[in-house]
A = this chain, B = another copy of it.
Amino acid sequence: MTPWCLDIGATPVTGGVHFRVWSPLADSVEVIRCARGEEASCPLSRVGEYFQGTIPGMGPGDCYWYLLDGTLRRPDPASRCQPGGVHGPSQVVAPDSFAWADGQWRGVALEELITYELHVGTFTPEGTFGAAVERLDYLQELGITALELMPVAEFPGSRNWGYDGVFPFAPHHAYGGPDGLKSLVDACHRRGLAVILDVVYNHLGPEGNYLHAFAPYFTDHYRTPWGDAVNFDGPGSDGVRHYVIGNALHWISEYHLDGLRLDAIHGIYDFSAGHILRDITRAVDSLARHLGRTVHVIAESDLNDVRTIAPPESGGHGVHTQWCDDFHHSLVTLLTGERNGYYADFGLFSHLEKAFREGFVYSGEYSRHRRRRHGSPSGDQPPRRMVVFSQNHDQIGNRALGDRPSTRLSPEQLKLAAGAVILSPYLPLIFMGEEYGETAPFPYFTSHGDPALVEAVRRGRREEFAAFGWEAEVPDPQDEATFRSALIDPELRSVGWHQQVFSFYREVIRLRRQLPSFRRPEREEIQVTGLEADRVVVVR
């Protein structure tokens, strides 16, 4: 029946639970069952690099730890749920017990994606999957075709952008856990909305990462800004690749997700002869075919490397589409005149023209910010292989104050940006609240438990902005008020100029959906003409 099953973690079977964990670094692994205040342990058997076994009498809802070598008590690297957070035990979840009502759902074609990026914790006052369901009518009214959730994998504490996740298989307990996410996806599908999930395969967060004791998940062969790189090509990497590919497939299979947005693939180091991005995409494509659904693989990339999205037959990784930061930077520098940090590379009218014509603005040119030549040409790729935006969580949140364009630009400028994005030949993405000119900031926030880490993050943010030339006081990421300041309020859409902006977004989204020329443009059908004197780019 099911074309694919996760073969690691805890899986309920008749009369018990089957456990399987990749643990080549341990000599023995036991399962510690915690039930009704008592604990009992059962040994697993080694089979190759894995330990496995079925424990009778256990079932969904039971909590457990792994005990490595009789001494180290650890949660499950493939835990489906962490009801007590990153430092607590894992919980058995039945992957197939949810009563799905989306049986007819087949997904949304790549060309038809109009994506709404949202952060579950600040999208609603409750900050849960369940509360997000209550907002779906609103999103339907807006006209978008897909939600993109910032990462939901269990992270330390209750407030986090999501990129510090340490249990890649466990939807955060404070957001509503596995059933909460399934309910949200199901509700979306019933309304014709696709759901894309942001997944982080370049690192694990700094707190609550218990994977080291099990297996060589990490390597010090490469450096990432966030610590050790994930081991995709060194000794033992087969198990890591299996874990990551399994993670991608489990979201699609168990959560009916319609796409994955792979965070910062420039932090995914793989020098092997078969790149992990190719393998992930291939596995997702194969599962999607079996399921009869459309599923997207979307890369966030700072590489401007056309190989990411080029098809495998021309040597590419075959990722379906990728974020195009160059489009954003070209548009925003023209609108705001900002030139600090990476904006130093942008600001000419011709940049925006090239972004419309080809995608990557830097396709081999010298970048002052990077102090080297950057990028490869992307003009031969169909427009659907680029996702564009005038706002997203990073472009807002990585400013010192997390201030949105709506606090700096006029409503007319916001509408111009919206039109440029939504009526572009590319796939548009908007960030929650953008559609009515939300003025709440989206600053960086955390709720780490480790005081040293809290201090390091504070210092890191301050230093980052000093380097970027921003000198304003950086909100304290750890302060709950910083998190709370990010909460959006869609009621604003009926107030004053917000109303104009909202109507405009609805109208251009409607236009994009109705007019076939906007929906499925091919590169050869598009003519881009820049009229610099009038500051007009004509795209037809």
Contacts and interface: CB of A to CB of B under 8 A. Distances in A.
A375 B223 CA distance: 24
Contacts of A220: 223
A273 B235 CA distance: 26
A374 interface: yes
Contact of A273 (B222, B236, B307): B307
A238 B373 contact: yes
Nearest to A304: B273
B305 A371 contact: no
A411 B405 CA distance: 79
A306 interface: yes
Interface stretch (A6-14, A287-295, A309-317, A337-345): A309-317
Given A223-B220, A314-B313, A315-B307, A376 B274 contact: yes
Given A223-B220, A313-B314, A303 B271 contact: yes
Interface in A31-63: none
Contact of A234 (B238, B372, B375): B372
A310 B315 CA distance: 9
A408 interface: no
Contact of A272 (B222, B236, B316, B374): B374
Interface string A375-387: 1100000000000
A375 B273 contact: yes
B236 A274 contact: no
B314 A364 contact: no
A510 interface: no
Contact of A371 (B236, B370, B376): B236
B238 A366 contact: yes
Nearest to A219: B223
Interface in A266-314: 266, 269, 271-274, 303-307, 310, 313-314
A370 B272 CA distance: 11
A117 interface: no
Contacts of A374: 272-273
Contact of A316 (B274, B303, B315, B376): B315
Contacts of A272: 303, 305, 372-374
A303 B273 contact: yes
Interface string A209-249: 00000000000111100000000011111100000000000
Which one of A234, A236, A364, A371 has the highest number of Cβ atoms from chain B below 10 Å of its Cβ?
Answer: A371
A327 B370 CA distance: 42
Interface string A174-192: 0000000000000000000
Contacts of A313: 314
Nearest to A362: B273
Contacts of A222: 221-223
Nearest to A222: B222
Given A221-B223, A315-B316, A274 B238 contact: no
Contacts of A237: 372
A271 B232 CA distance: 15
Contacts of A371: 235-236, 238
Contact of A372 (B233, B310, B315, B376): B233
A307 B374 CA distance: 21
B305 A273 contact: yes
A315 B306 CA distance: 10
A370 B222 CA distance: 18
A266 to B, nearest CB: 7
Contacts of A375: 273
Interface string A88-112: 0000000000000000000000000
Given A221-B222, A316-B315, A370 B273 contact: no
A310 B312 CA distance: 13
B273 A306 contact: yes
Interface in A364-422: 364, 366, 370-376
Contacts of A373: 238, 272, 274
A269 to B, nearest CB: 7
A468 B367 CA distance: 45
B314 A372 contact: no
23 contacts: A220-B223, A221-B222, A222-B223, A233-B372, A234-B372, A235-B370, A236-B371, A237-B372, A238-B366, A238-B371, A238-B372, A272-B303, A272-B305, A273-B306, A273-B307, A273-B364, A273-B374, A273-B375, A273-B376, A274-B373, A314-B314, A314-B315, A315-B316
Given A220-B223, A272-B303, A272-B372, 17 more contacts: A233-B372, A234-B372, A235-B370, A235-B371, A238-B372, A238-B373, A272-B305, A272-B374, A273-B306, A273-B364, A273-B375, A274-B364, A307-B315, A313-B314, A314-B314, A314-B315, A315-B315
Give the top 10 A-B pairs by smallest Cβ distance, nearest first.
A315-B315, A273-B305, A273-B376, A235-B371, A237-B372, A238-B372, A273-B375, A221-B223, A236-B371, A238-B373
